[in-house]
Structure 1
Amino acid sequence: MGDHGRVLDAVIGSTAQQEEETLPVAAVARRLGVAPATLRTWDRRYGIGPRAHTTGRHRRYTHADIGRLELMQQALLRGATPAEAASYALRATAPPDPPEVVAPREGGTSLLREFSTRSASVLGLSRAAMAMDTVATQQLIADSIDALGVVAVWNDVLRPVLAALASRWEQSGECVEVEHLVHECTLAAVIGATPMVTAPRNPRPVLLCCAPDEQHSLPLYVLRAALAREGIGTQMLGAALPASALAAAVRRTGPAAVAVWAQLPGLARASLFDEVPRTRQRVRLFACGPGWFTTDLPDRVDRLEDLADAVGRIESLVGAG
């Protein structure tokens, strides 16, 4: 056997040995610093789990499986939702597909029109913001909300623009003033799109606040606007609410639910929920935002994947009173 044959055999043997080395759920969870239940949820909801080596009910993760999970975790820490992060990880590790021609499905024209509207909104907002045109920026955001809805505008228009500005700042230190302008115009437009709920569907309010030391409250205003448009009454407590203040608010208002936003993982501490007092009537507890995605939460706390999930879950649980 020549040298090339021995090298090939060595590579094949090394690859086979690597494929045979698998890890159970608990070991992978420790390696990634997440709860085993989180891995099972990612597998069940997003299909990002072990692709083989499953014996009975015990899941075994290969090196390739763990690599996908690490990619997903990196995307989560950069602010992606679990669905976006899983899609990114699966695309990044998938073999290339041959090109195919897809026939337009029913309703394709309206979907294309909606996509074009979102793309035009991103482009128009970017131009207005870079020109430091406050009136045009706020008007574009308000018009987009009227056309697409507040959550869709946040996900598909505002987040891409804000992420691009943040990236520009990280690379060159420029455009901080533009990012601040977009933030303030967004806040004004979202507040303007929030109706006054005088007869809420929920007799007890939903408290909305940020985790202690968390200053990223803008998504919380988007959530309040979306809930208000569904007739859900809320009480906004804003950014960086101390745990003692949250406990006091729960005692004073007897809410139906409490939703705590955390953008950054370092500020998402599960012990916060232990300080929420138990009342005679059940209080639903929700952890919202990317900061909670890798946090092991108490059993009585529900993790909300993104703002659309938050609106749907909160409405379904408290909207019927």
Structure 2
Amino acid sequence: MELLSVGEVAARLGVSPSAVRVWGTRYGLVASARSEGGHRRYTPEDLALLQAVHEAVLSGTDPAAAAAAVRGIETADDVPALPRRRAGAGGTGLAVPGAGREARGLARAAARLDEMRAEDAVLAALRERGTLDAWDDVVRPVLIAAGAHWAATGSGIEIEHLLTQAVTTALIRHAAALPEPPPERPVLLAGGPQEEHVLPLYAARAALAEHGVPSRLLGPRTPMAALATAARRTRSAAVLVWLSRPDEAAADGLAEVAAAHRRVRVLVGGPGWGDVAPGPATAPADLAEAVTVLDRHWRGR
């Protein structure tokens, strides 16, 4: 029987690990097994219950009511069809299970298509928490909820678009307000040749700016030959190539980027690299690790 950690369950549900923990402490949806080392682990039945609750909450059911409906069920086959609550006439709701006050406020602003309020909410979180914490605990949960809402209902794509725009602008404003790093040996951030979605790179740029590390964001759909040229021209310390989906052209071009000059280091990030061998590149586990590696390499550590 496969046993899952909190992080593995969170990845399968598309939520943060903290959200899974909150469901346990607040609603009693705890792991029922333990590893040989005594750590709590989730069984397939636990995961099925959490999935049912998560889907119900995304459709508007109160989390406590959804949890109460599944509590005490022993097998995945017994999970009931949970009630879904329709959004009211005032607009589309955007549920963010287990999220904190800041994420809920951002979700409300996005659902109401209030771009300025959403932007201000993100900017306030960035200033209060720092980029990486704000990204993980405030921004990503709402982005995931917006995507899940569209996938489940076929509506609300306008929410996701507005939210992306608000987050992008807030990250630009936050980075611009920080002390300007020295220009030498900047880190280059680029989406792969077919990559349209580079919002995480805006977060990486802001996080690097907080560390005093210079960076240049080349944006989406960057040809690998052009990225290699940019690395040579700037004597870049490192390059981060982002993919949300597999892209063989990006994989094939990594060697050219790595050969741009002797000291450049190439990193890859995003779920698109999961099925593509990174070749000469390093693949950090997440955005926070990527920023740490880029920071250390730029400083020559």
Q: TM-score range by the shorter chain?
A: 0.5 to 0.7
One-letter amino acid matched to 2:223? P
* Equivalent position of 1:276 in the other structure: 257
- C-alpha deviations, 1:196-239, integer Å up to 9, x for none? 65442x73111110111111110000000000111101111011
CA RMSD between the two structures: 3.4
For residue 285 of structure 1, give the secondary structure of its aligned residue in structure 2.
strand
More helix by share: 1
- Specify the alignment match of 1:142 in structure 2: 123
3-state DSSP of counterpart to 1:174: coil
The structural deviation recorded for 1:311 is 1.3
* Counterpart in the other structure of 2:281: 301
Q: CA deviation at 1:266?
A: 5.0
**1:277 deviation in Å?**
5.5
Instruction: Find the counterpart in structure 1 of residue 184 from structure 2.
Output: 203
Question: What is the aligned counterpart of 1:123 among 99, 104, 125?
Answer: 104
**What are the superposed Cα offsets for residues 40-94 of structure 1, whole Å, 9 maximum, x if unpaired?**
xxxxxxxxxxxxxxxxxxxxxxxx46x869x969947x87899x9xxx9x84338
- 1:285 paired with 2:266, answer yes
In the superposition, relative to structure 1, how do residues 189 and 167 fare at CA in structure 2: closer, same or farther (>3 Å)? same
The CA distance in 2 between the partners of 1:73 and 1:284, in whole Å, is: 32
Separation in structure 2 between the aligned mates of residue 241 and residue 94 of structure 1, nearest angstrom: 41
- 1:225-275 per-residue CA deviation (whole Å, 9 max, x = no partner) reads 000111101111011101221122123222111111112235685222022
Q: Residues 91 and 171 (structure 1 numbering): CA distance in 2 closer, same or farther, change over 3 Å?
A: same
Within the alignment, does 1:177 sit opposite 2:158 as a pair?
yes
Structure 1 residue 133: Cα displacement: 1.4
**In structure 1, which of residues 194, 215, 219 is the aligned counterpart of residue 196 of structure 2?**
215
Q: Secondary structure at the match of 2:266?
A: strand
User: Paired residue for 1:311?
Assistant: 291
Q: What is the DSSP-based 3-state SS (H/G/I as helix, E as strand, rest coil) of the residue aligned with 2:155?
A: coil
Match of 1:92 in 2: 42
Larger radius of gyration: 1
Which SS does the other structure have where 1:302 is aligned? coil
* Aligned partner of residue 257 in structure 2, secondary structure: coil
Would you say the 8 A contact 1:223–1:307 is kept in 2?
yes
Unpaired segments of 5 or more residues in structure 1?
1-63, 97-117
1:242 & 1:224 partners in 2: Cα distance?
A: 20
Question: Do the aligned partners of residues 72 and 272 (structure 1) sit closer, same or farther apart at CA in structure 2, a change above 3 Å counting?
Answer: farther
Counterpart residue type for residue 242 of structure 1: P
Tell me the amino acid that sits aligned with residue 140 of structure 1: A
* 184-193 vs 153-162, which moves further: 153-162
Tell me by how many angstroms 1:296 deviates: 2.3
1:241 aligns with 2:222: yes
- Aligned partners of 1:74 and 1:145: how far apart in 2? 23
Kindly provide the CA deviation profile for residues 140-168 of structure 1, in whole angstroms up to 9, marking residues without a partner as x: 11111111111111111111111111111
Query: Structure 1 pair 145/277, CA: closer, same or farther in 2 (3 Å)?
Result: closer
Amino acid across the alignment from 1:305 = A
| Letter matched to residue 159 of structure 1 | R
1:129 aligned counterpart, secondary structure: helix
Q: List structure 1 runs of 4+ shifted beyond 6 angstroms.
A: 78-82
Q: How far apart are the structure 1 equivalents of 2:4 and 2:14?
A: 17
The count of aligned residue pairs is 229
SS at match of 1:207: strand
> What TM-score do the two structures reach when normalised by structure 1?
0.62
* Structure of higher RCO (CA pairs closer than 8 Å, 6+ residues apart): 1
- Structure-2 separation of matches of 1:214 and 1:81: 24
Does the C-alpha gap of structure 1 residues 240 and 161 become closer, same or farther in structure 2, counting only changes over 3 Å? same
Distance 1:267 1:131 in 2: 39
CA distance in 1, matches of 2:222, 2:166: 23
CA distance in 2, matches of 1:224, 1:254: 18
Q: Aligned partners of 1:140 and 1:74: how far apart in 2?
A: 24
**1:142/1:73 Cα in 2 relative to 1: closer, same or farther (>3 Å)?**
closer
Give me the TM-score of the superposition, normalised by structure 2. Answer: 0.66
Residues in 2 aligned to 1:307 and 1:155: alpha-carbon distance in whole angstroms:
9
**1:229 counterpart = 2:179:** no
Query: Identity over the aligned pairs, expressed in percent?
Result: 35
